[in-house]
């Protein structure tokens, strides 16, 4: 954990590792692969995916880290963003996770100089598992890889009263029409992060360049910040996505990721 290479946040925090795949965005879950490789070494037992799988719960040293980040951010007077979580889904909803969620909410309350970005593929569980009200340093987000999942997930996300509601469109598997939900206010989608998929099985549909452009224009029209993260295992060549070879530099990792030659890395202003 600690400092991260993920561009849209400063830190990553995982109260536990382990999850269940729920939709096509999970097909090539990098967290599952990483957990298979190093989970046992980190937790002393295998970390498993799937219903009934054994999760790996963070120890005391991990829980203490955000308090250090809080002190640094407060001393520097610069708010920092924390992504929770890259190796799990915070609203997975197992009964055994309830005490860890309570502890997470306490930690969030004790770290007002940090903005906590809780990203889920299960926003239908937010109302059930969240606190009575969200503090001002919580941003709630949902992955929406296609219109089908946007239509299913966003109504739950948009009901949440929190500082920022955001969507992670990664990987983008269909064109999206978000015009009816984009906006800067309460009950609207306030931020969009989007990007391609990495890995040998990465999906890069031929029309993706047009889908990305269309989403960019929808966000601009609504005055909603957008963050283009990466092309994943591809690069843009005009209207096409070209699959990268193993030794090619990765846009978004080794060099800036450009959409039509432009870096798009907008982030909403913190509300806290």
- The residue (of 203 and 235) whose beta carbon lies closer to ligand SF4 is 203
DSSP state of 259: B
- The residue (of 33 and 67) whose beta carbon lies closer to ligand SF4 is 33
- The residue (of 1 and 242) whose beta carbon lies closer to ligand SF4 is 1
Name, in order, each residue with C-beta under 8 angstroms of 158's C-beta and a sequence gap of 6 or more.
165, 181, 187, 188, 189
Question: If we measure between CA atoms, which residue out of 258, 164, 187 comes closest to residue 216?
Answer: 258
The distance of closest approach from Cβ of residue 161 to ligand SF4 in the complex, given in angstroms and rounded to an integer, is 24
The distance of closest approach from Cβ of residue 208 to ligand SF4 in the complex, given in angstroms and rounded to an integer, is 19
CA dihedral 97, 193, 160, 29 (to 10 degrees): -30
Instruction: Please give the helix or strand (H or E) that residue 194 lies within, else none.
Output: strand 191-194
24 close to 93: Cβ distance less than 8 angstroms: no
- The residue (of 32 and 114) whose beta carbon lies closer to ligand SF4 is 32
Query: Stretches 22-30, 94-102, 164-172, 214-222: which one binds ligand SF4 (CB under 6 A)?
Result: 22-30
The distance of closest approach from Cβ of residue 195 to ligand SF4 in the complex, given in angstroms and rounded to an integer, is 14
Site for ligand SF4 in 60-89 (CB under 6 A): 88-89
The distance of closest approach from Cβ of residue 186 to ligand SF4 in the complex, given in angstroms and rounded to an integer, is 26
Give a three-class secondary structure readout of 38-65: HHHHHHCCCCCCCCCCCCEECCHHHHHH
- The residue (of 31 and 264) whose beta carbon lies closer to ligand SF4 is 31
> What is the distance between the alpha carbons of residues 258 and 272, in angstroms, rounded to a whole number?
31
Using DSSP's 3-state secondary structure scheme, residue 134 falls into: coil
Query: Stretches 18-26, 64-72, 131-139, 262-270: which one binds ligand SF4 (CB under 6 A)?
Result: 18-26
- The residue (of 121 and 203) whose beta carbon lies closer to ligand SF4 is 121
- The residue (of 26 and 258) whose beta carbon lies closer to ligand SF4 is 26
Site for ligand SF4 in 86-145 (CB under 6 A): 88-89, 121
The distance of closest approach from Cβ of residue 88 to ligand SF4 in the complex, given in angstroms and rounded to an integer, is 6
Burial call 64-89: b when 16+ CB within 10 Å, e when fewer? ebbeebbeebeeeeebbbbbbbbbbb
Per-position DSSP letters for 237-255, written without gaps between them: ETTEEEEPPTTS--BTTTB
3-state helix, strand, coil in the chain (%, to 5): 30, 20, 50
Contact call for residue 19 and ligand SF4 (CB under 6 A): yes
Query: Stretches 29-37, 59-67, 96-104, 179-187: which one binds ligand SF4 (CB under 6 A)?
Result: 29-37
The distance of closest approach from Cβ of residue 248 to ligand SF4 in the complex, given in angstroms and rounded to an integer, is 25
Can you give the binding site for ligand SF4, defined by CB under 6 A? 19, 21-22, 26, 29, 31-32, 88-89, 121
């Amino acid at each position: 954990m600690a400092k991260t290479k993920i561009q849209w946040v400063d830190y990553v925090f995982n109260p536990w590792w382990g999850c269940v795949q729920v939709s096509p965005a999970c097909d090539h879950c990098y967290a599952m692969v990483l957990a298979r490789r190093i989970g046992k070494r980190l937790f002393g037992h295998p970390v498993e995916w799937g219903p009934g799988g054994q999760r790996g719960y963070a120890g005391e040293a991990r829980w203490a880290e955000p308090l250090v980040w809080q002190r640094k951010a407060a001393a520097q007077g610069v708010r920092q963003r924390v992504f929770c979580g890259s190796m799990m889904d915070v609203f997975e909803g197992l009964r055994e996770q309830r005490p860890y969620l309570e502890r997470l909410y306490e930690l969030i309350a004790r770290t007002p100089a940090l903005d906590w970005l809780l990203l889920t593929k299960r926003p239908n569980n937010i109302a059930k598992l969240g606190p009575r009200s969200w503090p001002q340093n919580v941003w709630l987000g949902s992955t929406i890889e296609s219109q089908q999942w946007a239509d299913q997930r966003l109504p739950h996300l948009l009901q949440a009263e929190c500082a920022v509601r955001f969507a992670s469109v990664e990987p983008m598997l269909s064109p999206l029409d978000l015009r009816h939900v984009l906006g800067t206010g309460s009950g609207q989608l306030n931020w969009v992060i989007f990007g391609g998929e990495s890995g040998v099985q990465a999906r890069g549909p031929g029309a993706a360049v047009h889908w990305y452009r269309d989403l960019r224009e929808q966000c601009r029209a609504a005055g909603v910040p957008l963050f283009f993260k990466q092309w994943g295992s591809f690069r843009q060549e005009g209207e096409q996505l070209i699959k990268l070879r193993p030794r090619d530099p990765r846009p978004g990792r080794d060099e800036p990721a450009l959409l039509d030659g432009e870096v798009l890395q907008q982030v909403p202003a913190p509300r806290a």
